[in-house]
């Protein structure tokens, strides 16, 4: 999935993929970060560590 970063008026950036726009009016640094994140997810990366575990726990707790 190719990620496209386009510069908009006013110095902001837009991140898009063939599936749609992922971010609008973001900074160049944040756009590059999101590009790397989207590429990692596309290639099989799954989040691990405390933030991911906490998110899973919250989802499980909502069910009960």
Segments forming the whole domain that contains residue 44: 4-63
> At 19, which helix (H) or strand (E)?
none
C-alpha 12: how far from chain center: 17
Q: What is the pLDDT of residues 26-52, one digit of tens each?
A: 999 999 999 999 999 999 988 788 888
Give the global pTM. Answer: 0.72
* Number of structural domains in the chain: 1
Residue 12: Cβ-neighbour burial (10 angstroms; 0-12, 13-18, 19+): middle
Contact 11, 25 (CB under 8 A): no
pLDDT-derived band of residue 56, with 50, 70 and 90 as boundaries? Answer: confident
């Amino acid at each position: 999935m190719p990620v496209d970063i386009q510069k908009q008026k006013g110095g902001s950036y837009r991140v898009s993929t063939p599936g749609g726009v992922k971010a609008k009016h973001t900074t160049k640094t944040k756009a590059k970060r999101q590009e790397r994140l989207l590429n990692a997810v596309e290639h099989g990366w799954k989040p691990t560590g405390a933030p991911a575990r906490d998110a899973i726990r919250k989802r499980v707790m909502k069910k009960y």
